[in-house]
Amino acid sequence: MFQVRFHGRGGQGVVTAAELLAVAAFREGRHAQAFPSFGSERTGAPVVSYCRIDDREIRTREPISAPDAVVIQDVTLIHQVDLFGGLAAAGYVLINTSRTFAELGLGELAARCQPDHLSTCPATELALEHVGRPVPNAALLGGLAALTDQVPLHAIGDALRDRFGPIVGERNLAAAAAAFEHVRAQREVVAGATAD
């Protein structure tokens, strides 16, 4: 089972991100379960959502306390909310930023994680460019696809078109594809550095 936890703020499409990922996995014939953190949060409040992906029926209903991947939609949550609690040793981290982990004060986290499991992506900028709205969730899903290989980009595209219709879905897919390329390029650099 692969478990993803999304952190963001109300209004940033955090719940939708988990749902889209679940739909993408479902489109690939896998079992998936997405659910929000069930709060009565208002716009701007910290929000968490969860997505589980597996090849067999998912029965558990507990929140994800030991995620395989953490997606941070909003860097202002860093050092404010326990974002990385329970993150597996080989876990993945994807952050919506153009800064580095060290610049975000996450050097310690970066040191204990596998370098090729860490990524950053300017998802908000990509969303503004391709969608015209600062909602980073679709772009981050593209980045997550490149980082974790859990779902292919075309499945994310299917989920986006399902959800937003052909026109807006296509724009979101463009943002996701750009993020996918961005993260893939990052990983290649890291892989090259490791190879050296």
Partner 1 sequence: MLQQIEGSRAIAEAVARCRPEVVCAYPISPQTHIIEAIGVMVKEGALAPCEYINVESEFAAMSVSIGASAAGARAYTATASQGLLFMIEAVYNAAGLGLPIVMTLANRAIGAPINIWNDHSDAMAVRDAGWIQLFAETNQEAADLHIQAFRLAEELSVPVMVCMDGFILTHAVEGVDLLDQDVVDAFLPPYEPRQVLDPEDPVSIGAMVGPEAFEEVRYLAHLRQLDALDRIPVIAAEFAAVSGRASGGLVRPYRLEDADTAIIAMGSVLGTIKDAVDQRRDAGERVGVLGITSFRPFPLEAVRAALAGVERVIVVEKAFSLGMGGVLATDVAMALGTSSLHTVVAGLGGRPITLASLTDMLARARADELATLSFLDLDEGVIARERARMASTRRSGPFAENVLRDLGRPREDHP
Q: How many residues bind partner 1 (CB under 8 A)?
A: 21
Our finding on whether 137 is near partner 1 (CB under 8 A) is no
User: Per residue in 9-26, is it b (16+ CB within 10 Å) or e — as a string?
Assistant: beebbbbbbbbbbbbbbb
CA distances from 47 to 14, 62, 171 (A): 7, 16, 25
Q: Smallest distance from the beta carbon of 19 to partner 1, in angstroms?
A: 5
58: helix, strand or coil: coil
Choose between 48 and 126: whose C-beta lies nearer to partner 1: 48
Residues near 122 by beta carbon (within 8 Å), at least 6 away in sequence? 96, 97, 98, 182
What is the nearest approach in angstroms of partner 1 to the Cβ of residue 143? 21
Question: Is residue 67 within a helix (H) or strand (E), and if so which, with residue range?
Answer: none
CA distances from 146 to 33, 38, 86, 92, 158 (A): 21, 29, 22, 11, 16
Complex with partner 1: residue 34 or 71, whichever CB lies closer? 34
Examine residue 18 and tell whether it contacts partner 1 (CB under 8 A). yes
Per-residue binding letters, 59-88, with partner 1 (x by CB under 8 A): xxxxx-x-----------------------
The distance of closest approach from Cβ of residue 100 to partner 1 in the complex, given in angstroms and rounded to an integer, is 30
Instruction: State CA 99 to chain mean position distance.
Output: 17
Give the shortest CB-131-to-partner 1 separation in angstroms: 22
Residue 76 Cβ, how far from partner 1 at the closest point, in Å? Answer: 21
Instruction: For residue 87, give Cα distances in angstroms to 6, 27, 113, 164, 191.
Output: 12, 27, 10, 31, 22
Measured from the CB atom, is 31 or 154 closer to partner 1?
Answer: 31
Residue 169 beta carbon to partner 1: minimum distance, rounded to whole angstroms: 16
Mark residues 19-48: x for contact with partner 1 by CB under 8 A, - for none.
x--xx--xx---xxxxxx-x-x--------
The residue with tokens 């996995």 is: 25
Q: Is 177 in the site for partner 1 (CB under 8 A)?
A: no
H or E stretch at 17: helix 14-27
**Residues found near partner 1 in the complex (CB under 8 A):** 18-19, 22-23, 26-27, 31-36, 38, 40, 58-63, 65
